[in-house]
Structure 1
């Protein structure tokens, strides 16, 4: 004769342990890696009638019809970790073995260096420029100070020497305006002309520096630090492409400005004054707009030439195409950076020039002492502005390529290889 418990199949005897809920087909065995109750979530409810004494400890209450979380729940619905939930649904950390719970939330953007490897915002570009200096100050500041000091010292010596020569040559020109020299027109014009004659050397130096600094910034993005020798070695051969491009742009501007000035002069010679006014105003406005347009469209050419290592013509054309669709954003950042650069330059230069005028009683800034003080201020200002501008241009190039070409994936791979 059987006991009542034996007559009721599937019902446990009093005091007997309650069997675990059945394992869904295809699921790993209990106790396997990742299996088991998750803190904060109840275990799934087994199907069938409620056993006497209730469900075992840890088992959830039966859900109402249509309520999420039941055994056999449809994939993609309900709370995370449902028993038998399909992979790819629900929140991370769900119940079940790896592959049955939901995937983890996407991690934060990888940042092995000075900026995160994803499209950058304005604040991240500006902050990255300062971080580039802190990441490699020996190259960013040391190399810049070295080159700028040599160039400015040579320029100052040439300016001081040429000022006297040019002032004597301009004596006849200024005699009608300032016959007794009380206004200092001769010395002032000589100083201005001497500075204009030496400006191309400074432009050449800053162009070369920009190319060298771009290499350092590009390595800082993936967490690498390069020495001065490595920067020079990596930039060898490519830097002259940047110089050649800058000279080409300069020649174009000289031709355009000369044509504009010639047109105005020709109309003035014929005394067509209304045409002079129209051409002067409309042409001047067109020159300004064309200057901004050409500057932005060619803004990414130096970093492209330095970092891609391709042929000159195709690389310039590719950099031109990269700015397509990003013109207004690049223009806004370019204008903001130039405003910052001018504020930095004037904050350093104006107090130095004022002090030199007062201390050396030289309002025209033509004495050797005045030129020396002005040169020191120029070295400091040029160092800060060149470093900042070069870093911003390099980061804008990287940002545009991450937006359009997925460069962040390649940079992440390069960072992983570096760590490995």
Structure 2
């Protein structure tokens, strides 16, 4: 599975990386413009916020509103970008398993046609996994509030023990649900299923192979996390260099622009490193999951002859005309 995912990235890196780069690059640009606007606003009003006397807190209101709007826009942009990428990866994989080429335009068109169904599927999957953790979090918060407000340590410890027991009982349930429904995003594209039907179909395919799906999924996500962390480290270290080599007198009182400049390079390079890391982490695990879906169907539903027959068919028009046989 892992070698097949790397081989797919190597052979189809243009549509895969191109789609992810365009989408996450646009989302990062939205965040970058918002952060630049916020930084410039803070620098322009630095004296009023940090000067002697009472700070002008009225200036914080528009800044807080700006950051709130920025967070909402960034969340929507990344949600939409992630949904399109999650749909684009199976689209590319559909042609990769048949050895066919695919263009960027075709990937975009087919992925966008499934994006809203993908958002619904991912939402249902996240909801099924998050409910046990939300119950645990609520219990922990209630314990802390009860201990602080009433000071009854004995009852607080009982609530804490109850929350810990809930964690031990509901945590495995969340993991079980995640594995059971993990193939649903791939099924949305491969079989054009609706969200609920995709979850049901995923549970059917995973039945009898739960531990295998868990192991391969954890390995894929662990590898993607490790590679992403290794990508981010050099960028973040390089972003600290301008501040560490700054020759200004740090003993004096720096201006708002100087303080923001110390962190400017770090923030910019952190965003770039996050973008590069996101490209790999958003492509590799869905590729492994897609290959696992194909493998399970070949084992359980005799998909091999169907794929062989599909690979032998005449290529669609968008791939160019088939070669003519010599007379």
Counterpart of 1:387? 283
**Are 1:216 and 2:112 counterparts?**
no
Is the 2:181–2:203 Cα contact (8 Å) retained in structure 1?
yes
Relative to structure 1, the CA distance from residue 297 to residue 156 in structure 2 (aligned partners, 3 Å threshold; closer, same or farther) is farther
CA distance in 2, matches of 1:363, 1:354: 18
- Residue 194 of structure 1, CA deviation: 9.6
CA distance in 1, matches of 2:306, 2:262: 54
**Are 1:374 and 2:276 counterparts?**
no
CA distance in 2, matches of 1:236, 1:355: 37
User: C-alpha root-mean-square deviation of aligned residues, in Å?
Assistant: 3.4
CA distance in 1, matches of 2:294, 2:88: 16
Q: Which has the higher contact order (CA 8 A, sep 6+)?
A: 2
CA distance in 1, matches of 2:289, 2:177: 15
Bigger CA drift: 393-402 or 228-237? 228-237
Is the 2:143–2:160 Cα contact (8 Å) retained in structure 1?
no
Relative to structure 1, the CA distance from residue 342 to residue 315 in structure 2 (aligned partners, 3 Å threshold; closer, same or farther) is closer
- Residue 388 of structure 1, CA deviation: 1.4
- Residue 294 of structure 1, CA deviation: 1.9
Match of 2:203 among 305, 311, 320: 320
Match of 1:293 among 176, 181, 184: 176
What stretches of structure 2 of length at least 5 have no aligned partner?
A: 43-66, 148-154, 245-257, 316-321, 323-327
Counterpart of 2:215? 332
Relative to structure 1, the CA distance from residue 256 to residue 203 in structure 2 (aligned partners, 3 Å threshold; closer, same or farther) is farther
**Are 1:274 and 2:150 counterparts?**
no
Counterpart of 1:146? 22
Length-normalised TM-score, structure 2: 0.73
Counterpart of 1:246? 122
Count matched residues: 275
Bigger CA drift: 360-369 or 296-305? 360-369
Is the 2:185–2:198 Cα contact (8 Å) retained in structure 1?
no
CA distance in 1, matches of 2:34, 2:240: 20
Q: 1:303-335: per-residue Cα shift (whole Å, max 9, x none)?
A: 111011234433331122111111100100111
Bigger CA drift: 142-151 or 245-254? 245-254
CA distance in 2, matches of 1:248, 1:310: 14
Higher helix share: 2
What stretches of structure 1 of length at least 5 have no aligned partner?
A: 1-124, 167-191
Is the 1:128–1:395 Cα contact (8 Å) retained in structure 2?
yes
- 3-state SS of 2:313 partner: helix
Counterpart of 1:126? 2
CA distance in 1, matches of 2:261, 2:226: 22
